[in-house]
C-alpha cells in the first residue's frame, strides 16, 4: 500500500520539494521552520515604534539597545495580541489603555537591554512612541506619534 502510494507520488512534478512546501506551510513560524509570511498581507495602515528620551529626542535603537525598531514593533504587536485576544478582539480594535499596557511591557524589556553606557547620563526617562502611516483616498498621511509608555531610569 505504502509502496504504491510512493510510486504514485513519485510521478508528481517536483515531488521532493512539494512535501517540504506543505510542511513549511503547516508548521508556520516555529524556528527554524517558517512559512515566511512577511508582507503577505497589508492594509491601508502601517506603524513603527521608536524610543526617545524625556525631551522626545529620538534614540538610535541599534546602537543603544542592540535591537531595532522592527523587532520592538513585532514584540509590541505580540503583547498587544495577547491582551486583545483575551477579550476576543483584533489588535486593530485595541483601546488606548490596551496599547499603553503592551507598550509598557515592551519599553521595560528594551530599557533592560540597553547597552551599558550607551545612554547619556542626562537621560532620566525613556518613552516609547508609535507612529502610523496611512493611505486614505489616494493620499498618504502620517499621523502624530502616539505616546505608548514612559519609564524612568
Partner 1 sequence: MSMPSSLPKPRAKVWWQPAVFDYSQLEAFVMRAAFAFLLFYSIKWETAPYKTQRNPTGLAHFFDFTWLAEHPPGPLWQGVCILSLVLYVLGLLPALTLAPTLASAIMIGTLVTSKAMHHSWQAVTLIALAQFLVYAWPRGRQLHRWVLGLILAAIAGIAFREISLLPGFAMAMKPFFSWLGHALNTLIHFTIIGFIVGFLASEINRAKSGLPAEAAPLRPGLPLHRIAIYASTVTFAASYVVCGIVKLVNSDFQWIQKVPYLSVQLLKSNWDGYYDSLVPVPEWLDKVTQGIVDHPHLARLIFGSGLFVELFAFVVLINRRWAFVGGLVIIAMHLSISKIMDLHFEYHMAAALILLMNVPGLMKTFGRASAC
Residues that bind partner 1 (CB under 8 A): 6, 9-11, 13-17, 19-27, 29-51, 58, 60-63, 65-75, 78-79, 109, 112-113, 131, 133-135, 138-140, 142
**CB of 20 vs partner 1, minimal distance in Å:** 4
- Comparing CB distances to partner 1, the nearer of 13 and 97 is 13
**CB of 72 vs partner 1, minimal distance in Å:** 8
Kind of pairing, strands 125-136 and 45-53? antiparallel
**CB of 17 vs partner 1, minimal distance in Å:** 5
**CB of 19 vs partner 1, minimal distance in Å:** 4
CB within 8 A of 21, min separation 6: which ones?
none
CB within 8 A of 25, min separation 6: which ones?
35
Tell me if 99 sits within 8 A of 80, measured CB to CB: yes
Helices (H), 43-119: 61-65, 69-86, 96-112
- Comparing CB distances to partner 1, the nearer of 43 and 122 is 43
- Comparing CB distances to partner 1, the nearer of 95 and 141 is 141
Tell me if 129 sits within 8 A of 101, measured CB to CB: no
- Comparing CB distances to partner 1, the nearer of 54 and 71 is 71
| Three-class SS state of 149 | strand
Amino acid at each position: 500500500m505504502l509502496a504504491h502510494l510512493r510510486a504514485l507520488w513519485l510521478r508528481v512534478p517536483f515531488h521532493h520539494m512539494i512535501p517540504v512546501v506543505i510542511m513549511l506551510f503547516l508548521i508556520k513560524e516555529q524556528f527554524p521552520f517558517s512559512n515566511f509570511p512577511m508582507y503577505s498581507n497589508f492594509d491601508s495602515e502601517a506603524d513603527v515604534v521608536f524610543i526617545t528620551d524625556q525631551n522626545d529626542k529620538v534614540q538610535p535603537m541599534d546602537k543603544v539597545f542592540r535591537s531595532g525598531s522592527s523587532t520592538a514593533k513585532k514584540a509590541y504587536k505580540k503583547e498587544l495580541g495577547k491582551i486583545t485576544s483575551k477579550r476576543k478582539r483584533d489588535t486593530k480594535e485595541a483601546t488606548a489603555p490596551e496599547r499603553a499596557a503592551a507598550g509598557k511591557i515592551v519599553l521595560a524589556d528594551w530599557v533592560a537591554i540597553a547597552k551599558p553606557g550607551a545612554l547619556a547620563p542626562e537621560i532620566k526617562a525613556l518613552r516609547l512612541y508609535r507612529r502610523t502611516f496611512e493611505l486614505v483616498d489616494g493620499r498618504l498621511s502620517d499621523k502624530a506619534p502616539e505616546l505608548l509608555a514612559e519609564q524612568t531610569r
